[in-house]
Amino acid sequence: MYQLIQKWYARAMARTREFDLDQALDRAMDLFWRRGYAATSLQDLLTELSIGSGSLYAAFGSKDKLYARALERYCSQYAGGLIELLQNADEIRPVVRAALTQMVEADLEDPERGCLLVNAATERGDDPGTVDRVAITMRLLESSLAAALEKAKARGELPADKEPVALARFLTTFVQGLRVVGRARLGRAFVEDAVDTALRSLD
């Protein structure tokens, strides 16, 4: 009897997890990104992921836990790409400009979407788990920028009186403000002037 139960359980779990978890997370992340947490219903998630409620609960536990996983995935991708660029940078200014320009272009192309990190901080500021995830990601970006700026200073790219940590904190803050401005649709000239001014902080 025990073996029969094991076989039944294995088949049931196989049916529950017959969808790809990474793909499901990506689709959930995109839905939360477009609509926000509150405006995304459980039924919206089931439709987007093409699964039943039993499969969703078995894989993720709840809507709240799925959001946490989706936000963690976004933060990993968002921070990971920039960190890799910073770690491999031969010159700091082109990398910082390229990263900021990429954000500008993304916001100009789709201003309603914005940045999931910023969206999470503003919509879910009363949720400790969300606040922690946002803070961890921003601290990671800050430390990576500071390390890259420290190397740039050692190479003579930055003036001797520049403080890498202070610059990193300014740029981390500027990035989040830039994403908010992108949603406000103030136009290319506005954000490009802001980027130019931010880059002059490295002079």
Model pLDDT, residue 7: 45
Say how far apart CA 137 and CA 132 lie, in whole Å.
Answer: 9
Of 129, 136, 131, residue with least CA distance to 65 = 129
Could you tell me if 168 and 145 are in contact, meaning their C-beta atoms sit under 8 angstroms apart?
Answer: yes
CATH number, domain containing residue 142: 1.10.357.10
Position 121, amino acid:
A
Position 125, amino acid:
G
Model pLDDT, residue 65: 94
In the numeric block, the tokens 């610059």 are attached to 167
Give tens-digit pLDDT for 77-108.
888 888 888 888 889 999 999 889 988 888 88
Of 156, 161, 175, 174, residue with least CA distance to 81 = 175
Model pLDDT, residue 54: 85
In the numeric block, the tokens 């190479």 are attached to 155
Give tens-digit pLDDT for 151-197.
999 999 999 999 999 999 999 999 988 988 888 888 889 999 999 99
Q: What is the dihedral of CA 149, 151, 155, 158, to 10 degrees?
A: 20
Whether the per-residue pLDDT at 8 is higher than 50: the answer is no
Q: What is the pTM of this model?
A: 0.82
Domain with 56, as residue range(s), is 1-202
DSSP category for residue 159: -
Q: How many domains does the chain have?
A: 1
Model pLDDT, residue 19: 60
